[in-house]
Copies of this chain bind each other. A is one copy, B any other.
Amino acid sequence: MKKIEAIVRLSRFDKVRDALAEIGVKFFTLQDVKGFGLQKGTKMVYRGSVYDSDYIARLQLDILCSDEKADEVVDVIMKAGRTGEVGDGKITVLDAVHCVRIRTGETGPEAV
């Protein structure tokens, strides 16, 4: 079992979701995250001061899948999420030692 965490642009989210659906990933978990760093955010103006926003807004998708499927999922996200501009995001793959579906108690690949 793998847990894949993908950080993508808001504007690419629709594409990524649809691409995932095509390869049979029909459910994932989503959260709003902020990319925080030293490089530039977005130009902002407030009461006469021009400044950069501290952070950039990104979406994080958490996807559980079987070990075999992981590469395909990463691939698909990479293709659908890419614009080529700085800031396209990252995909991290973690090992999940265990996974349970609360409703049924199924574990492992059947649970996702």
Which residues of A line the B interface, CB within 8 A? 1-3, 6-8, 17, 21, 26-39, 55, 58, 60-62, 64, 70, 74, 77-78, 81-103, 105, 111-112
Contact = CB atoms under 8 A, between A and B. Distances in A.
A35 B31 CA distance: 9
Chain A, interface SS category: strand
A36 B31 contact: no
A6 B19 CA distance: 26
Contacts of A100: 74, 78, 90-92
B103 A82 contact: yes
A94 B97 contact: yes
A96 B92 contact: yes
